[in-house]
Amino acid sequence: MDTFSLLVTAIKTLAIYLLIIQVVPVMIYVERKIAALIQDRPGPNRVGPFGLFQPVADFIKLLMKEDPVPSNVNKFLYQLGPYLAVLPASLAIAALPLGDQFEIQGQTFLLQIADLDVGLLYIFAIGSLGIYGILFGGWASNNKFSLIGAMRSASQIVSYEIPLALGATGAVMVYGTLSLREMVFKQSGTFLGVLPNWGIFVQPLGFLIFFVSAFAETNRLPFDLPETEAELVAGFHTEYGSMSFASYFMAEYIAMTTMSAVMTTIFFGGWQIPYVSDTWLLSVVGSKNILALIQVAVFMFKVMIFMCIFVWVRWTLPRFRFDQLMKLSWGNLIPLGLINIVLTAAAIYFWDMR
């Protein structure tokens, strides 16, 4: 690889990373605004026009605060915890396909940090590591509430990783690939002549299972048992303050973004606009780079819709009890996922759904 393409790749990596990270402050604002809308109150409206600078003010506040380390904690693991939470969440961004490709000086580059053959597995594998930040942080805090929160989080994430993978397996069988980029290409055109050929129409049950599990994987309401403020003070991050707390918060939001992006990619056609083919769009706009921009915009639009659904669900549904949560995974979602796989296999065998 020559210096020029290396430089472009480096800039591309940074740009994609920053684009995804930017979702965090935007989402903090959106979350508070939607919460206010649902609870019939104005929400943040003091800092800047419509309270738009509220996330900036929050961030400065968190940055300026002292970050005390409690005296009886395991210092090494306590301070490592937030890093262990943010790092896997950030690493998972590498496999997300934001668009097809762009062109600089005759060279084409993929709009994706790394096009892995095992992209989906990579996201699952790296995503499953986020638990260590919670686990080690909660344990090192030397606090019963933190420990119980961490334990809950561990059992919850391990239980819901299975239906998450099962839900995606059906789609993988239909597309016949684990590469997220190819999955998007496989979703062009129409399904049964009317609907867009998206994963959600081909795999409705798989999507439902994946969708429910995604909430549990990201510790979001109605499954936010690790941090139930009514029982556990704040759960695994009870002892954390200032930027350490913010790191956990950030990790949760990046994980949410990644989950939304994966759902968009597997089940909602990635960067594709329904009924509009990429080749036709290219002939209209004329330039590959403008097409790439449109694709990224469409992708981010779909991701943001999912993020809003995350927030909407959070302020609408009450929290599950822990035994209900476990029952939902092991008793309902996993059998449903297995049934879905059998049905999909049968459909592929008899009608050649591919």
Interacting residues toward other proteins by CB under 8 A: 74, 77, 116-118, 121-122, 124-126, 128-129, 131-132, 135-136, 139, 147, 150-151, 154-155, 157-158, 161
Q: Minimum distance between the CB of residue 213 and other proteins, rounded to whole angstroms?
A: 14
- The SS3 assignment for 190 reads strand
Q: What is the rounded distance in angstroms from the CA atom of residue 90 to the CA atom of residue 261? A: 13
Of 44, 35, 135, nearest to 85 by C-alpha is: 135
Shortest approach of other proteins to residue 180 CB, angstroms? 13
**Nearer CB in complex with other proteins: 125/284:** 125
Q: What's the sign of the alpha-carbon dihedral 297, 302, 304, 305?
A: positive
The C-alpha atoms of residue 261 and residue 316 are separated, in whole angstroms, by 23
Residue with smaller CB distance to other proteins, 236 or 306: 236
Residue 128 C-beta: closest distance to other proteins, Å: 3
Between CA 287 and CA 22 the distance in angstroms is 27
Of 117 and 229, the one with the shorter C-beta distance to other proteins is: 117
Kindly tell me which of 135 and 298 has the beta carbon lying closer to other proteins. 135
Specify the residue, 141 or 244, whose C-beta has the smaller distance to other proteins: 141
Q: Which ranges of 49-179 does DSSP label H, i.e. alpha helix? A: 54-64, 75-91, 119-127, 131-140, 144-175
The minimum distance between CB 348 and other proteins, in angstroms, equals 17
- How far is it, in rounded angstroms, from Cα 89 to Cα 206? 24
In angstroms, give the least distance from the CB of 154 to other proteins.
Answer: 5
